Homo-oligomer: A and B are copies of this chain.
Amino acid sequence: MPSISERGLNMPASPIRKLVPFAEKARSEGKKIYHLNIGQPDIETPPEMLQAVKDADIKVLEYSHSAGFESYRKGLVGYYQQFGIEVSHEEILITTGGSEAALFGLMSCLDDGDEIIIPEPFYANYNGFAIAGKINIKPINSTIETAFALPPISDFENMITEETKAIMICNPNNPTGYLYSKEELEQLREIVLKHDLFLFADEVYREFAYDGREHTSVLTLEGLENHAVVIDSISKRYSACGARVGALVTKNKAVYSAALKFAQARLSPPTLAQIAAEAGLKVGKDYFDAVKEEYVERRNLVVEALNNMDGVICPSPGGAFYTIARLPIDDADAFCQWLLESFEYKGQTVMLAPATGFYATPGSGRHEVRIAYVLNKEELANAMECLAEALKVYPGQVNMLEPIMATYS
């Protein structure tokens, strides 16, 4: 039998999805599962987006332009302007989800053996795109003690080598929910200019900035025209994860042109979903205000409930719809599996994502889980009650904070 590739072997299973078989078993046993493991919101997709697909008079479901509908790209120019981002439609490449934007961006800028620095914990799927291209991710630890703020810029300086080609952030952050400040971004601006690096920013949660704070795009930072590459998506913006429409946005013409060649090789992004995405451009401020208000209430509920549990630490994140909590447990992977396999409370349990999969440094995140607050408040309250009960009876409890802290020293 021929052997598969090293990269196929090295590819990690998704930490968000790898417990799915245990969840399927739990469900088949009649347990109700609260899915806080995946960023699949219950918020309704704006109906006008789905209606646009129904109204489309299509005889032949054709390829679109490899860069996506020109009309949609022109519409996006106005969308970005609302955020102070000035780009032309020829600087926007429509992709099949933000995932493909990350893949094309990395492939266009980095070769095998090149290094990209990413604060950890980070969105686990970046590993997949890096492994596909044999690109080395160099993690810099951000910690729950600082609510996962940008690590000191000296940590980045120390990590830069001849092989370093880029720094990447996700802002607001998945999995931590941290919203980087303008000041933090200015620090990144300086270091990428100093070392002539690319600055990738995954900004798919742009709309989800809370407590009156504003999101800053790397595309608005002065002098970064040739350095900034933005990964974008409509998945979270409109609760339209299944559409698979994203975008790569950059003013660097060489990067755009290389990414377009990768885009041509896969022909085009999905046509039906682009119709929905284009209709989404007309979705008004009211929708986003209501969604944001809902998420802030959910965040407050979850963060308060977590911090009320014995031995649990959870910072209050400024954006996105995730939070990382440190729990008094021996092993997050074992705990999350145990929740599905061996625990129930009033016929219910909770599915969480072990944080280990979001760290590149072995051993990190062993006492942490990522929680996506993507369910309604009633369900979230039930889920938190479930989790509180679970922590009381979990056999692998670690009683106090000391032994956990030891692992961080």
Contacts and interface: CB of A to CB of B under 8 A. Distances in A.
A242 B61 contact: yes
Nearest to A5: B111
A112 B128 contact: no
A95 to B, nearest CB: 10
Given A14-B264, A99-B265, A196-B1, A62 B40 contact: yes
Contacts of A261: 8, 11-14, 128
A23 interface: no
Contact of A271 (B198, B242, B265): B242
Given A62-B242, A107-B132, A112-B112, A267 B7 contact: no
Nearest to A129: B265
Interface string A246-266: 000000101100110110111
Chain A contact surface mostly: loop
Contact of A258 (B5, B17, B264): B5
A17 B66 contact: yes
Contacts of A96: 96, 244, 266, 270
Interface residues of A, number: 83
A97 B265 contact: no
A53 interface: yes
A7 B271 CA distance: 28
Interface of A: 1-9, 11-14, 17, 38, 40-45, 49-50, 53-54, 58-64, 66, 96-97, 99-100, 103, 107-112, 114, 125, 127-129, 132-134, 165-166, 196-198, 226-227, 239-244, 252, 254-255, 258-259, 261-262, 264-273, 276
Given A2-B227, A244-B271, 8 more contacts: A1-B227, A7-B107, A7-B111, A8-B107, A13-B264, A45-B61, A132-B132, A270-B270
15 contacts: A2-B198, A5-B107, A7-B111, A8-B109, A8-B258, A11-B262, A13-B261, A17-B264, A53-B272, A62-B241, A63-B241, A64-B242, A241-B267, A242-B272, A243-B270
